[in-house]
Amino acid sequence: MIKITVIAVGKLKEKYFLAASEEYEKRLTRFCKLNIIEIEPEKLPDNPAEAQISAAVAAEGKRILQKIPADAFVSAMCIEGKMTDSETLSRNIDRDAGNGVGHRIYIIGGSYGLSDEVKKRADERMSMSPMTFPHKLARIMLLEQIYRAFMILGGGTYHK
């Protein structure tokens, strides 16, 4: 069974996000071993200077990189990444599992994005949309798409 890890900067606190995450986590237990790692965001003042933002993103990036095993396939979720449809995500997960990739990691940065070091470590950069979404919502959307990918692979009726 493939292992999928979502590394996200920030913690889900709102009940509706927690409920959605728990639902997809439960659904995904049939298909993969799911692990969600929450990275504490750096604290910044209300109107941070560019240098403060860069330092915060770099510090978050270092903590993210510490959580990535060397043999994992890493997808950095970032706006400049390649947009992927559900069927392609499904094929990619299937391809990787068939090629012996036992661990896929998806990384969602904080509100100021991901460090260049994290993006360089990534095997691919993915974008959900050219639109900007709250990072907590992006996590739910990613979990839903991973679930959809497995349903496509299994020939389920969830994906129409």
pLDDT of residue 98: 81
Residues in the chain, pLDDT under 50 = none
* Helix (H), strand (E) counts: the chain: 5, 5
Q: Tell me the whole-structure pTM to 2 decimals.
A: 0.94
Structural domains in the chain, sorted by start: 3-153 (3.40.1280.10)
| Contact assessment for residue 140 and residue 16, using Cβ atoms and an 8 Å cutoff | no
Give per-residue pLDDT as tens, 79-99.
999 999 999 999 999 998 888
The helix (H) or strand (E) run that includes residue 30 is: none
| Helix residue ranges, H only, 75-134 | 86-98, 116-121
pLDDT of residue 157: 80
pLDDT of residue 100: 84
